[in-house]
């Protein structure tokens, strides 16, 4: 069998150019994402150290939840000029957060929060406005403080990174065909050593980097995808309410929670969004739920409940593209396997930083003879070897 037709010099040269330019385009953004990604991998551990809070009373796992409506009323009394925005349950401790807002689409710093003990209903604290280091890293990592525009830019950079990985893997073969896998020529010139290190770490981290890059693309387009879902779902649901005034009396949050829990016993309620014309429906509570098992805990299912009649309008799963998004989220930061997996993710992150820096170094001190010529020479040598064996 001959392979000479599949590794033509011009083909390898084309893939090399794709690898070079796709890498250069995304390198600066990717370096920023890698550096900010390191603390985000350990965000839970860092928040526990940096952000102390009042602990709730220890209770049995099956203890009943206190009256959520009373918690909302207390938050309303604390912030009379604001209105309830949403209620959500803490994933790690029996705490309930009530967020108050001046509008359906609050700006940064406008939301005020009250934290309650989920079992006793006692107000634990009113968090003060302070610099949130993890939030700062997350916004810089995901959208560079540019909102949707920044998210889309990072999505394009993640896509460019995925392209650089695919093209780099295709170019790796001709370069390393005459060397053993993992070769590192420690006695070579500085450029040779950096070149070997770049190739070695690049091929070792390839699968991990591809997963992180691909999930980065998915995360970057999450806002448009959820917007698409709302545009497809809400018009049909809101059609019967067309022309009706905004509701003045809302069914209690507790009744809504109990209704959804009864209708969806396999799901755990994570949050309740109050009537909202931007992120939900002006006539409904939007209740988000997740599965109770490790396998289904990453799959979110929304339920819409009429705030006046209590009618459960919809309790369907998200479309496939949002399911794919939800499943991809934990893969990006490696936060689904405890501290050991987080350490592995961090080590791969550091290795990728070295790959990026070595790639920039190799480009800056490129030799007079273009790399394309070296690629041609290596491929031709292999073609000659195949030709001799064919005789």
Domain boundaries, position 8: 4-44+139-220+336-390
Mean pLDDT of 103-119: 94
Residue 75 lies in a domain: yes
- Quick one: 36 exposed, middle or buried, by C-beta within 10 A (0-12, 13-18, 19+)? middle
> According to the model, what pLDDT value does residue 1 have?
36
Are residues 119 and 143 located together in one domain of the fold? no
pLDDT at position 94 is: 93
Element holding 97 (H helix, E strand): strand 95-101
Q: Which of 107, 131, 155 is the last residue of a domain?
A: 131
Pairing, β 95-101 against β 112-117: antiparallel
- 346 assigned to some structural domain: yes
Instruction: Determine, yes or no, domain membership for 96.
Output: yes
- CA angle, corner 41, sides to 297 and 279, nearest 5? 55
pLDDT, mean of residues 322-329: 87
Same domain, residue pair 113 and 147: no
Best mean pLDDT range from 119-123, 128-132, 181-185, 194-198: 119-123
Give 304's strand partners.
286, 314
Answer whether residue 115 shows pLDDT above 80: yes
Angle at 298 (CA atoms; ends 294, 300), nearest 5 degrees: 130
| pLDDT for residue 113 is more than 90 | yes
Residues 340 and 379 in one domain: yes
Q: Has residue 259 been placed in a domain?
A: no
Residue 187 has pLDDT above 60, yes or no: yes
Query: Based on the domain organization, do 191 and 77 belong to the same domain?
Result: no
Does 381 share its domain with 341? yes
pTM for the whole structure = 0.84
Residue 233: pLDDT band by 50, 70, 90 thresholds? Answer: confident
Q: How many domains are there within the chain? A: 2
The answer to whether residue 174 sits within a structural domain is yes
pLDDT given for residue 3 in this prediction: 40
Q: Are residues 125 and 177 both part of a single domain?
A: no
Q: Is the pLDDT score of 2 beyond 50?
A: no
If you average pLDDT over every residue of the chain, what do you get? Answer: 87
Q: Residue 113 domain-assigned? A: yes
Asked whether residue 346 carries a pLDDT value surpassing 90, the answer given is yes
- Co-location of 208 and 72 in the same domain: no
The answer to whether residues 211 and 91 belong to one domain is: no
340 & 375 share domain: yes
Give me Rg for the CA atoms of the chain.
27
What is the DSSP track for 276-309? -TTTS-TTEEEEEEEESSTTTTT-EEEEEEETTT
Among 91, 111, 131, the domain-final residue is 131
The answer to whether position 280 is within a domain reads no
Q: Which of 100-104, 117-121, 151-155, 358-362 has the lowest mean pLDDT?
A: 358-362
Q: What pLDDT score was predicted for residue 374?
A: 60
pLDDT number for residue 26: 95
Q: Residue 189: what pLDDT?
A: 80
Q: How far apart are CA 53 and CA 239, in angstroms?
A: 44
Q: How far is CA 286 from CA 83, 88, 95, 186, 251, in A?
A: 16, 12, 20, 60, 13
Closest CA to 287 of 296, 298, 279: 279
Q: Are residues 146 and 14 in the same domain?
A: yes
Domain membership flag for residue 11: yes
Residue 319 vs residue 378, higher pLDDT: 319
153 and 38 within one domain? yes
Domain stop point among 115, 131, 147: 131
Same domain? For 207 and 78 the reply is no
């Amino acid at each position: 069998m001959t392979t000479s037709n599949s590794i033509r010099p011009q083909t390898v040269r084309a893939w090399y150019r794709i690898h070079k330019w796709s890498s250069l385009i995304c390198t600066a953004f990717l370096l920023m994402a890698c550096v900010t990604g390191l603390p985000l991998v350990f965000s839970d551990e860092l928040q526990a150290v940096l952000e102390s809070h009042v602990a709730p009373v220890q209770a049995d796992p099956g203890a009943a939840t206190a009256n959520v409506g009373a918690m909302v009323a207390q938050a309303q009394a604390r912030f009379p000029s604001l209105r309830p925005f949403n209620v959500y349950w803490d994933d790690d401790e029996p705490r309930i957060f009530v967020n108050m807002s001046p509008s359906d689409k609050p700006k940064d710093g406008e939301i005020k929060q009250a934290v309650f003990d989920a079992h006793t209903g006692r107000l634990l604290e009113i968090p003060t406005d302070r610099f949130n280091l993890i939030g700062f890293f997350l916004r810089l990592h995901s959208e560079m403080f540019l909102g949707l525009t920044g998210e889309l830019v990072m999505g394009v950079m993640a896509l460019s990174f995925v392209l650089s990985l695919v093209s780099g893997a295709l170019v790796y073969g001709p370069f390393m065909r005459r060397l053993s896998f993992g070769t590192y020529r420690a006695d070579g010139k500085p450029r040779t050593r950096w070149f070997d290190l770049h190739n070695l770490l690049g091929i070792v981290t390839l699968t991990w980097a591809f997963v992180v890059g691909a999930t980065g693309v998915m995360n970057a387009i999450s806002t448009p995808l959820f917007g698409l879902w709302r545009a497809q779902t809400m018009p049909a649901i809101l059609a019967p309410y067309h022309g009706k005034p905004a509701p003045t009396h809302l069914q209690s949050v507790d009744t809504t929670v109990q209704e959804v829990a009864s209708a969806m016993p396999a799901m755990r309620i994570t949050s309740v969004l109050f009537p909202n014309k931007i992120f939900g429906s002006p006539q409904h509570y939007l209740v988000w739920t997740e599965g109770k098992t490790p396998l289904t805990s990453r799959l979110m299912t929304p339920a819409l409940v009429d705030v006046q009649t209590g009618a459960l309008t919809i309790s369907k799963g998200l479309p496939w593209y949002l399911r794919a998004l939800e499943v991809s989220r934990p893969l990006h930061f490696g936060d689904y396997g405890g501290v050991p997996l987080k350490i592995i993710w961090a080590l791969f992150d550091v290795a990728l930083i070295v790959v990026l820096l070595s790639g920039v170094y190799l480009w800056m001190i490129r030799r007079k003879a273009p790399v394309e010529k070296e690629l041609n020479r290596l491929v031709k040598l292999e073609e000659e070897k195949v030709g001799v064996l064919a005789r």
